[in-house]
């Protein structure tokens, strides 16, 4: 947070409605709701004094407040499909100033951009605060050849001569606006009622950060990118909950002639659970499996177990309440689609390396170890390292 200079406020418009992706602003990327990712990016940027989320939605408001943002309730007349972001920003500025919070510089962030680089945002804020620019926007360099269709449907070159194809190194790049963030003077914005005015500059950002989520395909791409780029060496939680098959085991079973089953587990995982227990961090095994081997392994590890559970979400909510642990402070380790309801309600959904693709997409952390091959130990070590 800034200690001196113009007062800078980040404003994140996040309404509850969305047609292409229902409840878009609370969809998780890297296990974190989109609106929370935007709040974190703004909070991590030097020069920003306050983070505000403008919303008409109770769930979004709760997520934003838990992440450390101030919430401005947006009236219904500027929260529909045709409402502009500018109207939400103006309303938020009026609400802040009515509350005695004057604003000199605005950083407008879009929650639909899940990879907002805080360093580039801070640099943009510095440009406006130092009066070197009136408006700064996020953009990445592109060397693409652009075309458009004319009235007859013929392709027409836009930013190049179609008869001349220079090498990339011989071309000047263009700048493509990403939509991730815009920083501008509050007084100039009020006068122009637009995000671009006066001295305009571009803040260069990496091209991979430029994805903006407008449909389900883009959401899946963002989740895949999060697994590559989000780093979480430590996992700061107060409790650990795991599935059993495919997590403590390699998801195979040996069945004898009488129908009895045997599974393979890792002694390394057993040591990890012992270390977690010694640290006083509660652990639970939550499984749909009814085989007695689940309880036998839990007894061996000396941790509580709930097995034969069809509704993992309800069981987890109940266990968390009984143990006075907030869901946001729980890591849930899963491997298959029946784990998704439980993973979606905790702060740290975690997947083993060989988890189902849908589970990896929604995990905040994907481990490097496979189920039954040290995945539990890896999770424990990340928890203890925090």
User: Which domains does the chain possess?
Assistant: 8-229 (3.90.550.10), 239-385 (3.40.50.1000)
* Bridge partners, 74 (sequence order): none
pLDDT value of position 366:
92
pLDDT value of position 386:
82
260 vs 139, which has greater pLDDT? 139
368 Cβ contact list (under 8 Å, min separation 6): 353, 378
Q: How far apart are CA 82 and CA 88, in angstroms?
A: 12
When pLDDT is averaged across residues 192-214 and rounded to a whole number, the result is 95
Q: Which helix (H) or strand (E) holds 375?
A: helix 375-385
| Spatial contact of 103 and 97, defined as CB atoms under 8 Å apart | yes
pLDDT value of position 5:
60
pLDDT value of position 196:
97
Q: What is the dihedral of CA 182, 10, 29, 244, to 10 degrees?
A: 160
Q: Among candidates 63, 41, 60, which has minimal Cα distance to 120?
A: 41
| Spatial contact of 331 and 350, defined as CB atoms under 8 Å apart | yes
Reading the block at residue 278, the tokens are 């010694």
pLDDT value of position 76:
85
Q: How far apart are CA 376 and CA 386, in angstroms?
A: 16
Quick one: pLDDT band at residue 78, thresholds 50, 70, 90? confident
Mean per-residue pLDDT of the chain? 93
Determine whether 172 is exposed, middle or buried from the number of CB atoms within 10 Å of its CB (0-12, 13-18, 19+). exposed
The answer, as to whether pTM is greater than 0.85, is no
Q: How far apart are CA 101 and CA 260, in angstroms?
A: 68
pLDDT value of position 4:
54
pLDDT value of position 24:
93
| Spatial contact of 248 and 303, defined as CB atoms under 8 Å apart | no
Determine whether 332 is exposed, middle or buried from the number of CB atoms within 10 Å of its CB (0-12, 13-18, 19+). buried
- DSSP states along 264-325: -B-HHHHHHHHHHHHTT--EEEEES---HHHHHHHHHHT--EEES-S-HHHHHHHHHHHTT-
């Amino acid at each position: 947070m800034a200690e001196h200079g113009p007062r800078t406020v980040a404003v994140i418009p996040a309404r509850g409605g969305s047609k292409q992706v229902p409840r878009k602003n609370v969809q998780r990327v890297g296990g974190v709701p989109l609106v929370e990712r935007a709040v974190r990016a703004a909070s991590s940027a030097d020069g920003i004094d306050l983070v505000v989320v403008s919303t008409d939605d109770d769930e979004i408001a709760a997520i934003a407040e838990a992440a450390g943002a101030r919430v401005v309730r947006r009236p219904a007349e500027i929260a529909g499909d045709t409402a502009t972001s500018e109207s939400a920003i103006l309303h938020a500025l009026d609400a802040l100033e009515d509350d005695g919070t004057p604003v000199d510089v605005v950083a407008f962030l879009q929650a639909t951009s899940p990879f907002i680089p805080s360093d580039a945002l801070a640099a943009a804020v510095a440009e406006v605060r130092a009066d070197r620019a009136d408006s700064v926007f996020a953009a990445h360099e592109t060397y693409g050849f652009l075309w458009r269709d004319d009235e007859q449907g013929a392709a027409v070159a836009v930013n190049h001569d179609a008869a001349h194809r220079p090498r990339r190194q011989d071309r000047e790049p263009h700048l493509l606006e990403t939509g991730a963030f815009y920083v501008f003077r509050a007084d100039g914005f009020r006068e122009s009622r637009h995000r671009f005015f006066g001295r305009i500059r571009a803040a260069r950002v990496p091209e991979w950060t430029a994805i903006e989520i407008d449909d389900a395909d883009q959401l899946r791409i963002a989740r895949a990118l999060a697994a590559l780029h989000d780093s979480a060496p430590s996992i700061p939680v107060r409790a650990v909950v795991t599935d059993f098959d495919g997590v403590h085991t390699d998801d195979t079973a040996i069945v004898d002639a009488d129908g009895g089953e045997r599974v393979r587990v890792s002694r390394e995982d057993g040591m990890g659970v012992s270390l977690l227990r010694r640290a006083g961090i509660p652990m639970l095994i939550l499984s749909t499996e009814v085989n007695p081997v689940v309880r036998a392994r839990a007894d061996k590890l000396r941790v509580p177990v709930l097995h034969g559970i069809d509704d993992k979400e309800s069981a987890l909510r109940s266990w968390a309440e009984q143990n006075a642990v907030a869901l946001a402070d729980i890591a849930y380790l899963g491997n298959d689609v029946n784990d998704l309801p439980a993973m979606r309600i905790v702060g740290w959904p975690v997947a083993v390396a060989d988890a189902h693709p849908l589970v990896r997409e929604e995990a905040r952390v994907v481990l490097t170890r496979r189920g039954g091959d040290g995945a539990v130990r890896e999770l424990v070590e990340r928890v203890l390292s925090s």
